Amino acid sequence: MVDTGGWYKLCCPSSQLAKPDLLGAIYRVRKHGAQKLPDSAKRSAYARVIKPSLDLTKAWVALKQAAMQRDSKAASVMRELLQEKIAAAATSNESARMARIAAEGLGRLGYRPAVPVLLHATGLTEDAIIEHSLTFALIEIADPALTRAGLKEENARTKRAALIALDQMDGSDLKPSDVIPSLNASDEHLRSAANWVVGHHPDWGGELAGFFRERLAAKNFKNSDRAELEKQLAQLAQDREIQELLGSVLRDPGFADEGWLIVLHAMARAGLKKTPSTWITALWPVVDTDNAVLVKEAVLTARALTLSKTNAMELIGTLSRVAHNAGWPPDVRLDALTALPAGLSSVEPDIFDFLRANLDAKKPPMLRAAAAEIIYRAKLNEEQLIELTDTLKIAGPLELSTLLGAFAHATSEAVGLRLVAALNESKGLAGLRVDLLKPLLEKFPATVQEQGQALLAKLNVDLEKQKAHLEELLASLPKGDIRRGQAIFNSPKTACASCHKIGYVGGLVGPDLTSIGQARTERDLLESVVYPSASFVRSYEPMVVATKSGDEYSGVIKKDAPDEIVLATGPNTEMRIARSDVTEMRPGTVSIMPQGLDEQISRQELADLVAFLKGTKWGAQ
């Protein structure tokens, strides 16, 4: 592929405002009108090129020909060749090639007498390509009885190949008891293979529950072992016995604290549509403790679960107490408020003040986003809405659109006039969408709508004006400094790192910017900062999902599964929508990255940010 130099606008490699130099790329060449040959014709053509007199034991091309033509007479020769060449494969490229082709041929031929030889060969090579050829040959031959012998071998590589082959081949009778011994193997690769096999067998949960109880009772886990165990339990959480196991472990003080943390993480990652009652009854006492680490993780778990007022009254009450306790850190209190189902039906003055304080531009982006989301879901009275308008003046573009949702049910003239006045003074105004603001203003009296017309006109800027503004910015920007730009990128004010990753640090909502400077011009980068909806990076296009209830959600698709869709709607927010509730999915036209960042920072800071992005490069220079 050729780098076109332009970001994507709904899969078209071009920019709306600045056209790239390269408009396309050739990735396949075929003679016009040429017919595609069937496999049989290809093999015949290949056979005419290769002389049939070539010795299989000396020429790899002849061996390849025999494999492709599925010459059964060559099977015994291939088996002997594999035995002969595998030992020298590590030091001889020719031997490695012959061994690999022999393994492929034995698989194509389905030659069962070769299974013991293939298993033995897996223990003699560290070459990943040869190992794959040997394992795939076992899968193609599909003889479970002969392959099962590999599970009894001492060699970890042989066990691993046999385990994977038995899991993948047709007609296999692989059982949980075959896999359990390898879950605790000292060999990392064998253990990883066993974890992988278990991960796509959710029906094995009941037979594995006893094993996992023993594992959770262990102490001093390595980080890698802890992560593996959390992943396994989350993958198997559909099974009722695993659900019961997680709930019982969380109620048993003998598993505190390390086992509890693993269980909490597994529950949060499970993604169940309906939260088991055993989890809820086990969770609220943990939230009610005074252990800061456990409370933080338990609140995050509650936030990830699906709760309702009918099945989680004790947990909801405990979360509310955490939220009202000024002794807990702000992030824990905000997470507790976010976890409350259906939002706040009323907002006490101390909580309202707490939420507004966390919208300050100096606060971390995650706290600001969480506070804005809680206010949006809460039911504010008229006095609180009027107070909130003062906050809109200082709110950043990331939070402004969310906060606007708090006024969705307001109709009084006093609130409407204060809202329009506050938005006129807001530095984040340029990031608001006309299609979001216009229907909101239409709910207010005529006096408010009249005041709002000028506001809407200010937002309804056409493409030519955007292009002119971009030209003016490009010509007037001072020289940027990369180091200062890096500080701006990572600052709470811009919150770029909340969504974008550079190297190993940053968010995953937006595209990775590690080497963006090598592919984009300064003009492209400036456009993406000032007008993020002008063009989209492929795979990060916004989508609008409409539901049966009439709600619409906009975000970047992170998961598109048969049972659910997960949209990333912000730096720390996701929306899970059951596939059965979806009535329509359509491409969005507005990026989840807010517009108006150039109004939040100075021209020098903007120049520094662009210089930093242009300076990002990957690898040795």
Span 465-498, pLDDT tens digits? 788 888 888 899 999 999 999 999 998 888 898 8
Top pLDDT among 111 and 308 is at 111
Contact 295, 331 (CB under 8 A): no
Quote the mean pLDDT of the chain. 85
Helix 397-404 to helix 434-441 angle (10° resolution) is: 30
Contact 452, 441 (CB under 8 A): yes
**Radius of gyration (Cα) for the chain, nearest Å?**
31
What does the DSSP 8-state code read for residue 473? H
Structure tokens at 463: 């493409």
Residue 18 has pLDDT above 70, yes or no: no
User: Which residue in 299, 269, 270, 266 sits closest to 283, CA to CA?
Assistant: 299
Percent of the chain with pLDDT over 70: 87
Confidence of residue 595 (pLDDT cuts 50, 70, 90): confident
Question: Any bridge partners for residue 564, and if so which?
Answer: 578
pLDDT, residue 19, reads: 42
User: Which residue in 376, 369, 402, 398 sits closest to 573, CA to CA?
Assistant: 369
Confidence of residue 55 (pLDDT cuts 50, 70, 90): low
Residue 242 has pLDDT above 90, yes or no: yes
Can you tell me the distance from the alpha carbon of 82 to that of 97, in angstroms, rounded to the nearest whole number?
A: 10
Give the chain's length: 621
User: Which residue in 435, 365, 446, 363 sits closest to 404, CA to CA?
Assistant: 435
Please state the rounded mean pLDDT for residues 4-8: 43
Confidence of residue 376 (pLDDT cuts 50, 70, 90): very high
For 580-610, give one letter per residue: b (16+ CB within 10 A) or e.
eeeeeeeebebbbbbbbbbebbeeebbbbbb
Q: What are 243-270's pLDDT values in tens digits?
A: 999 999 999 999 988 999 999 999 998 9
Q: Which residue has the tokens 């690999």?
A: 100
- Indicate the residue type of 399: E
Structure tokens at 281: 């009854």
Q: Which helix (H) or strand (E) holds 585?
A: strand 582-587
Question: pTM for this structure?
Answer: 0.68
Question: Any bridge partners for residue 557, and if so which?
Answer: 567
Residue 42 has pLDDT above 60, yes or no: no
Contact 145, 173 (CB under 8 A): no
Q: What are 179-225's pLDDT values in tens digits?
A: 999 988 889 899 989 988 988 888 888 889 999 999 999 888 888 88
Task: Report DSSP letters for 21-71, one per residue.
Answer: S----------TTPPPPPHHHHHHHHHHHS-TTS-TTT-HHHHHHHHHTT-
Please state the rounded mean pLDDT for residues 518-525: 87
Structure tokens at 184: 């605790």
Of 23-27, 269-273, 616-620, the one with minimum mean pLDDT is 23-27
Q: What are 334-374's pLDDT values in tens digits?
A: 999 999 988 899 999 999 999 999 998 888 878 888 999 99
Question: Any bridge partners for residue 501, and if so which?
Answer: 506
Contact 452, 420 (CB under 8 A): yes
* Distance, first Cα to last Cα, the chain: 22
Of 262-271, 283-292, 504-513, 576-585, the one with minimum mean pLDDT is 576-585
